[in-house]
Amino acid sequence: MRQTTSYWRHFDFLLLGAVALLVIIGITMIRSAIAGNIEVADYDQRQLLFALGGFVIILLTTAIDYHLWASLSRSLYIGTILVLGILFIIGTAVLGSARWFEVGVLFIQPSEIAKLILILVLADFFARNQNREMDLKLIVRSFLLTMGIVFWIILQPNLSTAIVMIVIWFSLLWASGLKVKHLFMFAGMGLIIPVIVYPLLIDYQKQRILNFIFPDPTARYGDIYNIQQALISIGSGGWFGQGYSQGSQVQLRFLKVRWSDFIFSALAQEFGFVGTLVVILLLLFVIYRCLRAARLARDTFGALIAYGVATMIAFQAIVNIGVNLNLLPATGLTLPFVSYGGSSLLSILIGIGLVESVILRQKSLEF
């Protein structure tokens, strides 16, 4: 009992509180965004159920010693590849992509959980090799390990999630001691790879990039329609917004997918600059607490887990907000904790549970 008490006194209630506020804001905005739309009328209730289940899982994940996942990393890795392979064969096709398993009225997206599995697998890999020199051989091995999962994500196709996984790999590689000479090598590859990959993209992916680089200022419909509506929504929000459930573009349904990909624009129109600033500050605080956990971790494995979760949240938030502001091409990445998406919310909450587990075990037990 005394050992358990010693662990739990390190629990980061500030991190949990910030996450809870973001989830509450998200469910509240989803409820406003779906108002009057019968087809998605229960999305707020679904998100609430996933949130309640997610917070229970946070406590369960926190209670489990994170070192257990190191011993299970190989099994988790193989299991993830098998699940993604099965999904590619028999998965439910939605909007031209095979990304979901249909379970009753719910759609489960394994790629969201796969991001966490990749963090655990890479954290274990780099921790086991922390005493080795970070040479090209080790870099290639870690990349091939990453591509074992990313390959199946690309086949779905789900380029945005694949990019998130590549970013996670690179961030953990960097945290594990990437040399400057290798950094220059990656910089060069970063200039060449997009040119090589572009011809291999699917037509709609190419179109998104072209619309971003060469937008048609006279277009009022088509591929850039929602970006225009997003900018109108953000611009019309002013300092304090038009009021909850009062946003014109939101309530009149001019803004599409306003409960998921473009919920930031909906938030900006109804709560203005101040409302979006609050959400951004909460996200920054969550990222900071995850990085703090990495600094306090008792070993490299724990530090890399916390660092990986922080990277995942930060990158998705930056990309989602960037898309809403028309600073980046449309990707489909959700705003962490806020956008609708049960699988996305659940995976991020599990990630928070892993970070809490690292925080609880930050130092040796005192007897």
**Quick check: 269 pLDDT over 50?**
yes
Residues 6+ apart with CB under 8 A from 228: 219, 220
Q: Distance (Å, rounded) from C-alpha 314 to C-alpha 336?
A: 9
Position 95 scores a pLDDT of 44
Position 171 scores a pLDDT of 93
Contact assessment for residue 310 and residue 290, using Cβ atoms and an 8 Å cutoff: yes
Position 366 scores a pLDDT of 38
Q: Which of 54-63, 88-97, 183-192 has the lowest mean pLDDT?
A: 88-97
Could you give the percent of the chain with pLDDT greater than 70?
83
**Quick check: 298 pLDDT over 60?**
yes
Which of 55, 58, 69, 4 is CA-nearest to residue 355? 58
Global pTM reads 0.89
Of residues 362 and 288, the one with the higher pLDDT is 288
Digit-coded pLDDT (tens) for 93-130:
444 455 655 555 556 788 889 999 999 999 999 999 98
Residues 6+ apart with CB under 8 A from 342: 46, 47, 49, 50, 106, 107, 108
Could you give the percent of the chain with pLDDT greater than 90?
51
**Quick check: 265 pLDDT over 60?**
yes
**Average pLDDT value for residue range 303-307:** 96
Q: Strands, DSSP E only, in the chain?
A: 92-94, 97-103, 106-108
Q: What CA–CA distances, in Å, run from 220 to 19, 106, 215?
A: 38, 34, 11
Position 311 scores a pLDDT of 97
Q: Which of 101-115, 294-308, 327-341 has the lowest mean pLDDT?
A: 101-115
Of residues 134 and 359, the one with the higher pLDDT is 359
Q: Where are the domains of the chain?
A: 2-360
**Quick check: 364 pLDDT over 70?**
no
Digit-coded pLDDT (tens) for 151-200:
988 887 788 899 999 999 999 999 988 877 777 777 776 667 776 666 66
Residues 6+ apart with CB under 8 A from 122: 142, 145, 146, 168, 169, 172, 304, 308
Digit-coded pLDDT (tens) for 340-355:
988 899 999 999 999 9
**Average pLDDT value for residue range 292-312:** 95
Please name the helix (run of DSSP H) or strand (run of DSSP E) that holds residue 178, with its range, or none.
none
Q: Distance (Å, rounded) from C-alpha 154 to C-alpha 270?
A: 36
